[in-house]
Copies of this chain bind each other. A is one copy, B any other.
Amino acid sequence: MDIRINLNRLKDDLESFSQFGRNPKGGVTRPSFSKADLEARRWLKGKIEEAGLDFHQDGAGNIFGRLGRGEGKIVMAGSHIDTVINGGMFDGAVGVLAALECLRTVKEGEIPLTKPLEVVSFTDEEGNLVGDFLGSRAFTGQLNEEELRRGATQFGPPLKDILAGTEFTIDSILGAHRQAPRIESYLELHIEQDETLDTEGLPIGIVDQIAGKHYRWCSFIGKTGHAATTPLELRHDAFLGLADFALKATRLVAADFYGSMVTIGKVIVLPGSFSNVPGQADFSFEFRSLSKATLRDLEKALFSLAEDVASTRGLMFASKIVDKTEPVTIPARIFQLLKDECDKLDYPSLELPSGPGHDAQILAGLTDVGMIFIPCVDGISHSPQEAVRWEDLEKGANLLLQVLIQLAR
């Protein structure tokens, strides 16, 4: 169908929108329910209503704009409007504003559809509040109620206090999934957050898989002692256990799980002084794989390795799960539709997996999902330097438009 989005209007929207939470040095800080986010939400509501779409929001503060009435399942597209601290203006926002632009284009073009279309912005994708994907988890009924009620947030006051400035409560968030409509499919346009497309000079990436991950908080526990008097061969040095495990785990993944990732990003050694042999080493442990079977095998191999290292060195090993997402394979009918429409538009593209998680991964628990990547310059994201080329964004939004029309026809 020979219809195209209006790039200038989308560009104006993105530039206006980027002022909410803009830092003096150019970054954007807009965590969900911050002052900047509440302003951004009012602006988005205004734009949805101005476009003649039906605005509504659920108990988790997820924002929706619907085009078309009727009883059919909804074809949904969107992403999130929150950012990390001192992040960029494109991560998330392009997916929401491009979807809005698609719906405006469909409405103005008076394209006849049998199913409603809906733009969505999910609350707190970035995990500044309690865990990643708060909004999409609330929408799909996948929240951890206990953790949410505990309400410890990443940087700020307890969740309860943050919500006090809004119309939402922990109970309304937990109840959000009961308001969710039936969904035909969910599409998300997002920047790649890596350099593959930019390096290859390609405007479009069609995602085939989204990696699943474990976030775990682990410990090796040994025995502390005086660094001056405990002979090396009699030590149960918990940090050396962690060092041994870190190197072996990396080698294991590189050799036997190519394409999977393992990262130890935070370490606390106790008691933590110059002259004490470490009695305990706590660490964050993250591993990711693209398929459920691989992630399961990797988990098994890594924990068996940790137990081996612990027993060889006279240590204990302990692990508790902090967060977990399942790997997603994009359903063939959506993936093929994305490829076909991309070919029809004559846009060069690449099939590629997504390392980072996205709201689409959470929606996959409820419906068929698809993802379109556009390049970000030098692969930089979560940074004030985050940038896209407007012609790539135009192509990504036009592909989203064609696919939404095909799905809702």
Instruction: Tell me the bound Cα distance from A381 to B276 in angstroms.
Output: 13
Docked-complex contact A267 and B247, CB < 8 angstroms? no
User: Quick one: given A228-B355, A254-B232, are A265 and B261 in contact (CB under 8 Å)?
Assistant: no
- Chain B residues whose CB sits within 8 angstroms of the CB of A193 once the complex forms: 226, 228-229
**Which residue of chain B is the closest to A281 with respect to CB atoms?**
B267
Total interface residues on A, using CB and 8 Å? 52
Q: Which of B240, B264, B356 contacts A229 (CB 8 A)?
A: B356
Docked-complex contact B322 and A274, CB < 8 angstroms? yes
> Closest approach, in angstroms, between the C-beta of A259 and any C-beta of chain B?
8
Q: Which of B211, B247, B277 contacts A244 (CB 8 A)?
A: B247
Docked-complex contact A240 and B247, CB < 8 angstroms? yes
- Chain B residues whose CB sits within 8 angstroms of the CB of A4 once the complex forms: none
Interface: A55 (CB within 8 A): no
Instruction: Tell me the bound Cα distance from A269 to B232 in angstroms.
Output: 24
Docked-complex contact B278 and A265, CB < 8 angstroms? yes
Docked-complex contact A264 and B278, CB < 8 angstroms? yes
> Closest approach, in angstroms, between the C-beta of A374 and any C-beta of chain B?
15
Instruction: Tell me the bound Cα distance from A253 to B231 in angstroms.
Output: 11
Given A227-B265, A243-B244, 5 other A-B contacts at CB below 8 A? A226-B355, A226-B382, A230-B261, A274-B286, A274-B322
Instruction: Tell me the bound Cα distance from A226 to B250 in angstroms.
Output: 16
- Chain B residues whose CB sits within 8 angstroms of the CB of A277 once the complex forms: 263, 265
- Chain B residues whose CB sits within 8 angstroms of the CB of A261 once the complex forms: 227-228, 230-232
> What 1/0 mask marks residues of chain A from 222 to 243 whose CB sits below 8 Å from any chain B CB?
0000111111110001011011
Interface: A215 (CB within 8 A): yes
- Chain B residues whose CB sits within 8 angstroms of the CB of A263 once the complex forms: 227, 237, 274-277
Interface: A194 (CB within 8 A): yes
Interface: A288 (CB within 8 A): yes
Interface residues of A in 255-277 (CB under 8 A from B): 261-269, 271-277
Docked-complex contact B267 and A239, CB < 8 angstroms? yes
Interface: A246 (CB within 8 A): yes
Docked-complex contact A266 and B275, CB < 8 angstroms? no
**Which residue of chain B is the closest to A232 with respect to CB atoms?**
B254
Instruction: Tell me the bound Cα distance from A38 to B94 in angstroms.
Output: 67
User: Quick one: given A194-B226, A269-B267, A274-B322, are A246 and B240 in contact (CB under 8 Å)?
Assistant: yes
Docked-complex contact A227 and B273, CB < 8 angstroms? no
Interface: A151 (CB within 8 A): no
Interface residues of A in 168-193 (CB under 8 A from B): 193
Docked-complex contact B278 and A284, CB < 8 angstroms? no
Instruction: Tell me the bound Cα distance from A211 to B276 in angstroms.
Output: 16
Docked-complex contact B265 and A229, CB < 8 angstroms? no
Instruction: Tell me the bound Cα distance from A116 to B369 in angstroms.
Output: 91
Instruction: Tell me the bound Cα distance from A237 to B263 in angstroms.
Output: 9
- Chain B residues whose CB sits within 8 angstroms of the CB of A355 once the complex forms: 226, 228-229
> Closest approach, in angstroms, between the C-beta of A297 and any C-beta of chain B?
17
**Which residue of chain B is the closest to A242 with respect to CB atoms?**
B243
A sample of 16 inter-chain contacts (CB < 8 A) reads A193-B226, A193-B228, A194-B226, A226-B355, A226-B382, A227-B265, A228-B288, A228-B355, A229-B356, A229-B379, A239-B246, A240-B247, A263-B274, A264-B278, A266-B269, A267-B268
> Closest approach, in angstroms, between the C-beta of A218 and any C-beta of chain B?
12
> What 1/0 mask marks residues of chain A from 345 to 367 whose CB sits below 8 Å from any chain B CB?
00000000001110000000000
> Closest approach, in angstroms, between the C-beta of A309 and any C-beta of chain B?
11
The residue in A213, A227, A262, A382 that gathers the most chain B C-beta atoms within 10 A of its C-beta is A227
> Closest approach, in angstroms, between the C-beta of A335 and any C-beta of chain B?
21
A-B pairs, top 3 by smallest CB distance, nearest first, are A228-B355, A243-B243, A227-B263
